[in-house]
């Protein structure tokens, strides 16, 4: 089954989230790798150097979250005394599916690509996507070699997924586990703290750290903007198909925990206390059932706990939690085309919502027929669902950041491949091929894709260096303000547009 025929729940729970972007990506042909040893504050690492780029894989940034540390906040990695092999990626976090790679509860590792030449380089910390239940830090498209060649230290990080990182175990295992729904978020913060303490050994500048991600990784980035204690850990943010809505109140989080507990007991016959010691993989079947049956999509989420997240992140952002920082944020025009098919069983009623109830959505959707009468039913559904899950939440983050004293650049990717059903759309994950510069040679308009990939990659690199995003052949990209909403529209011929989708935006004001 191809991604375009999957519901979003099946797409995510099958750990296939990046299929669209990864199907043509590869690491390329590299010069022979030579061994290299690097001394860090925690101990020596044995990595590899090739063509002026040093690579260190599977570097621990926290103690293994196993045994007594299961469901607990991450604990900083302890120093080691003998050189540590850093030539292999560590296991991915425990998750459903994705049987082609090893999984382990011992998953808190990161990977570093750095220029071999001495310097004090900007740092890009990348958070992978996967609906908070899937994905990993080391798929080929996230190879940081190109960034290192551009003079940027690239760090890709892992974090606990599913019930291990985004379920509040307090109602099930006792008050000492309260707040465990934010452990995945805390894992990313622990990785960022590791960067602050260790990245100078790799040639990185801890004062010039950009944190960014795509899909769930972008949502975590946006949520971090609203976590006051994360403020010292980074200076800039990149958000690709994100938003900061993916959080629960304490009451909602507790309800999800109770729901999971019932499924766990029913499927295993074990007492709730066994969650703390049961084999890690045995927790996944009940998680899968929860994903399939819970009335809201993505039941495993971070939580407004009153401390790490004091309130809804966009409210904290608007109050200044990201003041003075720079943000590059945007979406693909047709994100939801990756998740819904051309012939829904119930037309507009067959919806895949991330942030609101169907009744609320259908009231807004009815208005789409008036502002887009030329679109087909499928096109209108894709546009409306994209707005609900990605575009409107991203606009809210951008406007909150601006109101809170930050600077923002907004984009929208409109480029489409030109062949196949999805060839007429710009689906979720497509931008990864462009910003990581892994264009596909197999699409109908391959030459145009390669040219745009070079431009978008260069614009991202300029931003990571602390400059305004820019590239040869692109029009000047002005900063975004809520009044003019100037947005870079990436396409075969890119353009800047003021107030794009203005009529559509008016439909959503005050809805989410």
* Active-site residue (options: 18, 137, 180, 215): 215
Binning the chain into helix, strand and coil, the percentages to the nearest 5 are 40, 20, 40
pTM equals: 0.94
Please tell me the predicted confidence (pLDDT) of residue 512.
Answer: 65
Q: What is the CATH number of domain 332-512?
A: 3.40.50.1820
Q: Give the angle 117-49-36 at the CA atoms, nearest 5°.
A: 95
Please tell me the predicted confidence (pLDDT) of residue 336.
Answer: 92
Q: pLDDT digit of tens for each residue in the chain (512 aa)? A: 233 334 554 544 444 444 444 433 334 445 789 999 999 999 999 999 999 999 999 999 999 999 999 999 999 999 999 999 999 999 999 999 877 899 999 999 999 999 999 999 999 999 999 999 999 999 999 999 999 999 999 999 999 999 999 999 999 999 999 999 999 999 999 999 999 999 999 999 999 999 999 999 999 999 999 999 999 999 999 999 999 998 999 999 999 999 999 999 999 999 999 999 999 999 999 999 999 999 888 899 999 999 999 999 999 999 999 999 999 999 999 999 988 765 444 344 455 677 777 778 888 888 999 999 999 888 998 999 999 999 999 999 999 999 999 999 999 999 998 776 678 899 999 999 999 999 988 888 899 999 999 999 999 999 999 999 999 999 999 999 999 999 999 999 999 999 999 999 999 987 76
The answer to whether residue 215 is catalytic is yes
Domain spanning 1-15+35-167+179-245+312-322: CATH superfamily: Alpha/Beta hydrolase fold, catalytic domain (3.40.50.1820)
Instruction: Specify the DSSP class assigned to residue 473.
Output: T
CA distance 128 to 216: 7
**Do the bridges between strand 103-104 and strand 84-85 make them parallel or antiparallel, or are there none, so unpaired?**
unpaired
The answer to whether residue 374 is catalytic is no
By the 8 A CB rule, do 227 and 325 touch? no
* Active-site residue (options: 4, 240, 245, 335): 335
The answer to whether residue 297 is catalytic is no
Please give the full DSSP string across 52-78, using - where no structure is assigned.
TEEEEEEEESB----GGGTTS---BPP
Please tell me the predicted confidence (pLDDT) of residue 360.
Answer: 80
Where does residue 120 fall: left (phi above 0), alpha (psi -120 to 50 degrees), or beta otherwise? beta
Which tokens sit at 172? 């099930």
Please give the full DSSP string across 297-356, using - where no structure is assigned.
S----EE--SSSS-S-HHHHIIIIITTT-EEEEEEETTGGGGT--SS-TTGGGS---SSS
CA distance 220 to 18: 17
By the 8 A CB rule, do 491 and 448 touch? no
* Total length of the chain: 512
Please tell me the predicted confidence (pLDDT) of residue 126.
Answer: 98
* Active-site residue (options: 428, 449, 457, 504): 428
Angle between helices 377-386 and 358-371 (to 10 degrees): 120
Q: What are the C-alpha distances in Å from 128 to residues 25, 161, 383, 409, 459?
A: 16, 11, 24, 21, 20
Please tell me the predicted confidence (pLDDT) of residue 13.
Answer: 44
By the 8 A CB rule, do 111 and 177 touch? no
By the 8 A CB rule, do 238 and 394 touch? no
DSSP E strand stretches across 170-288: 204-214, 236-240, 247-248
Instruction: Specify the DSSP class assigned to residue 461.
Output: H
Residue with tokens 């067959």: 350
Q: Give the angle 309-396-500 at the CA atoms, nearest 5°.
A: 165
Which residues of the chain form CATH 3.40.50.1820?
1-15+35-167+179-245+312-322, 332-512
Of the candidates 478, 481, 393, 466, the residue with the CA atom closest to the CA atom of residue 210:
466
Helix (H) or strand (E) holding 145: helix 145-149
């Amino acid at each position: 089954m191809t991604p375009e025929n999957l519901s979003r729940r099946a797409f995510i729970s099958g750990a296939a989230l990046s299929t669209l972007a990864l199907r043509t990506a590869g690491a390329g042909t590299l010069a022979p790798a030579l061994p290299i040893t690097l001394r860090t504050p925690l101990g020596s690492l044995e990595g590899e150097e090739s063509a002026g780029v040093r690579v260190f894989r599977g570097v621990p940034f926290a103690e293994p979250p196993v045994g007594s540390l299961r469901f607990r906040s991450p604990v900083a990695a302890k120093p080691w005394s003998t050189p540590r092999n850093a030539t292999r990626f560590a296991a991915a976090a425990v998750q459903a599916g994705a049987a082609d790679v090893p999984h382990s509860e011992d998953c808190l590792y990161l990977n570093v690509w750095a220029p071999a030449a001495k310097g004090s380089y900007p740092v890009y910390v990348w958070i992978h996507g996967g609906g908070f239940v899937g994905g990993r830090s080391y798929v080929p498209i996230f190879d940081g070699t190109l960034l290192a060649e551009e003079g940027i230290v690239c760090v890709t990080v892992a974090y606990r997924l599913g019930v291990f990182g985004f379920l509040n175990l307090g109602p099930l295992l006792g008050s000492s586990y309260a707040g465990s729904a934010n452990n995945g978020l805390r894992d990313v913060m622990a990785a960022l703290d590791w960067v602050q303490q260790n990245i100078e050994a790799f040639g990185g500048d801890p004062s010039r750290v950009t944190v960014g991600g795509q899909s769930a990784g972008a949502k975590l980035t946006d949520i971090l903007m609203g976590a006051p204690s994360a403020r010292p850990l980074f200076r800039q943010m990149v958000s690709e198909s994100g938003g900061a809505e993916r959080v629960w109140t304490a009451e909602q989080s507790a309800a999800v925990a109770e729901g999971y507990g019932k499924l766990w007991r029913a499927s295993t016959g074990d007492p709730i206390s066994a969650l703390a010691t049961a084999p890690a993989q045995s927790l996944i079947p009940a998680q899968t059932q929860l994903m399939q049956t819970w009335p809201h999509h993505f039941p495993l989420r971070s939580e407004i706990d009153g401390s790490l997240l004091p309130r809804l992140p966009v409210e904290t952002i608007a109050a200044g939690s990201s003041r003075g920082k720079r943000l590059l944020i945007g979406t693909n025009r047709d994100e939801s085309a990756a998740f819904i098919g051309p012939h829904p069983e119930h037309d507009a009623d067959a919806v895949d919502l991330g942030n609101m109830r169907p009744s609320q959505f259908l009231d807004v959707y009815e208005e789409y027929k008036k502002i887009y009468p030329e679109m087909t039913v499928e096109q209108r559904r894709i546009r409306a669902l994209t707005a609900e899950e990605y575009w409107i939440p991203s606009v809210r983050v951008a406007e909150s950041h601006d109101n809170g004293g930050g600077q923002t650049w907004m984009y929208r990717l409109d480029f489409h491949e030109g062949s196949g059903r999805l060839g007429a759309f710009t689906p979720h994950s497509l931008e990864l091929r462009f910003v990581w510069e892994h264009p596909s040679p197999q699409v109908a308009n391959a030459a145009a894709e390669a040219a745009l990939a070079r431009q978008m990659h260069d614009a991202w690199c300029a931003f990571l260096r602390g400059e305004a995003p820019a590239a040869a052949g692109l029009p000047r990209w002005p900063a975004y303000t809520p009044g003019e909403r100037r947005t870079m529209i990436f396409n075969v011929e890119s353009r800047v547009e003021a107030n794009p989708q203005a009529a559509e935006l008016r439909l959503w004001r005050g809805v989410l």
